[in-house]
Structure 1
Amino acid sequence: MVYIGHRGAKGHQPENTLPSFQKALDLNVDGIELDVHVCKTGELIVIHDFTVDRTTNGSGAVSELSLSEIKSLRINDEIEIPTLEEVLDLVGKKCFINIELKGRHTAKAVSNLIEKYILENDYSYEDFVVSSFQREELEMLFTINPKIHLGVLSQASVSQALEWATAFSAKAIHPHFSLLTPENVQKAQEQGFKVYTWTLNETEDIERIKTYNVNGIITDFPERI
Structure 2
Amino acid sequence: MAAILKIGHRGAKAHLPENTLASFLKALEMGADGIELDVHVCATGELVVIHDFTVDRTTNGSGEVHKMTLAELKKLKVEGGHTIPLLDEVLAIVNKECLVNIEMKGRHTARPVSDFVDKYVKERGWSYDNFIVSSFQREELLIMSDINKNIPLGILTQASVTQAWEWAEEFSAKAIHPHYSLLTESNVKKAQQAGFKVYTWTINETEDIERIKSYNVDGIISDYPERL
TM > 0.5 fold call:
yes
From 21, 26, 29, give the equivalent of 2:24.
Answer: 21
Q: How does 1:15-164 map to 2 (within 5 A)?
A: 15-76=18-79, 78-164=81-167
* Cα distance in 2 between the residues matched to 1:104 and 1:7: 19
* Cα distance in 2 between the residues matched to 1:21 and 1:57: 21
In the other structure, the counterpart of 1:197 is 200
- Displacement of 1:28: 1.5
* Cα distance in 1 between the residues matched to 2:91 and 2:153: 18
* Cα distance in 1 between the residues matched to 2:81 and 2:5: 32
- Displacement of 1:120: 1.3
CA 76–188 in structure 1, closer or farther in 2 if over 3 Å, else same:
same
Moved over 3 A (4+): none
1:66-125 deviation line (CA, Å, top 9, x unaligned):
000000000015111001000011111110100000000000000001011111110010
Q: Report the 3-state secondary structure (helix = DSSP H, G, I; strand = E; otherwise coil) of the residue aligned with 2:216.
A: coil
Q: Does the 8 Å CA contact 1:131/1:151 hold for their aligned counterparts?
A: yes
Number of residues of Structure 1 aligned to a counterpart in Structure 2: 225
Which letter does structure 1 place at the counterpart of 2:38? D
Q: Does the 8 Å CA contact 1:152/1:173 hold for their aligned counterparts?
A: yes
Computed over aligned residues only, the root mean square deviation of the Cα atoms, in angstroms, reads 0.6
Structure 1 portions without partners, runs of 5+: none
Q: Does the 8 Å CA contact 1:57/1:77 hold for their aligned counterparts?
A: no
* Cα distance in 1 between the residues matched to 2:212 and 2:99: 22
In the other structure, the counterpart of 2:215 is 212
* Cα distance in 2 between the residues matched to 1:130 and 1:121: 18
* Cα distance in 1 between the residues matched to 2:89 and 2:225: 22
Q: Report the 3-state secondary structure (helix = DSSP H, G, I; strand = E; otherwise coil) of the residue aligned with 2:81.
A: coil
